[in-house]
Amino acid sequence: MAAKFFGQFLLEKGVIDASQLLRALEIQRMSNPALGELACDKGMLSADQAQAINERQRREDRRFGDIAQSMGLLTSDEVGQLLDEQKSRRKLFGEILIEEGFVDRAGLDEELRLHSADRDEAARSLDAVVATHQLGRRVGNSIATCNKLFPRLLRTQCQFSSVADPASPPPVDALAIVRVAADRPLAIGMACDTATMHAMAQAFLSIPAEACDDELARDALGELVNMLMGYVVKDSLPEDASYRASPPDFDTPVSALDDGMHVMVSMTSQLGPFLLVLGD
């Protein structure tokens, strides 16, 4: 069983159609503006200042408001005001569907119940890997790191979907994998199709589609894996451990990872699906 975002779940069941899904997602996005957007709208920050904070977020594991305060651009009271407004504006996806007349309350409650059951079943398969596989802890840490980094770096959510079979993984067009030499070596990678790679690159680099060619998209995928690797190393290795990370490898095919030393999990995001690869 694969876990899905609620909107995708409803779309695949035929409860809503594609235009309704896009409409609901756009309303949800508009109801949950980034802190930088709010600060610019209120005149607390300029666009250049917000961009400078976002750039630092790409390099640091810190929240937007904390970085803004450390740079002397916002006070703690101003950050609190922005967070309160952000929270007050936020709309749940299901409530938007009801407001737009796409589903009724009883129908929504039933679909939420079914969706929750699917997610619980998928979570049990992940729990089994985390509990029994030698790479289980790294798998759990890597998924949690993706869940944290995607909203910050790509302005979108991602979540675990299913444990993939290395002998028959989903089809992908690109794989970027970084290998880390240490007392206990590790490898981490991301694989996806071309459309997802381009969508991630455009979100990561804040560029339009026409400015993103295949080479740039591939480089952006490699940089995302580099950043993910940094967090996983921090969580997996002792603070005083020495290690050396190789540049991203784009030449290894996913089929070569069916060696018993790698774990693959399918992830879903609003930019497209991808594989998360962990190995020794």
Q: How many CB atoms lie within 10 A of CB 120?
A: 11
Domain-wise residue ranges, the chain: 136-279
Q: How many CB atoms lie within 10 A of CB 90?
A: 11
E strand or H helix at 160, and its extent? strand 158-164
User: Which one has a higher pLDDT value, 23 or 61?
Assistant: 23
Cα 189 to the center of its chain, rounded Å: 14
How many CA within 13 A on the CB side of residue 140? 15
Question: In the prediction, which pLDDT does 168 show?
Answer: 86
Question: In the prediction, which pLDDT does 280 show?
Answer: 81
pTM of the predicted protein model: 0.81
Give pLDDT tens digits for 163-207. Answer: 998 888 889 999 999 999 888 888 999 999 999 999 999 999 889
User: Phi and psi for 170 in degrees, rounded to 5?
Assistant: -60, 150
Question: How many secondary structure helices (H) and strands (E) does the chain include?
Answer: 11, 6
Amino acid at 31: S
Choices 3.40.190.80, 3.40.190.150, 3.30.530.20, 3.40.1550.10: CATH for 136-279: 3.40.1550.10
Q: Is the model's pLDDT at 1 over the cut of 80?
A: no
Give pLDDT tens digits for 9-52. Answer: 999 999 999 999 999 999 998 898 889 999 999 999 999 999 89
> 69: which 2 tokens?
């305060």
> 83: which 2 tokens?
């967070």
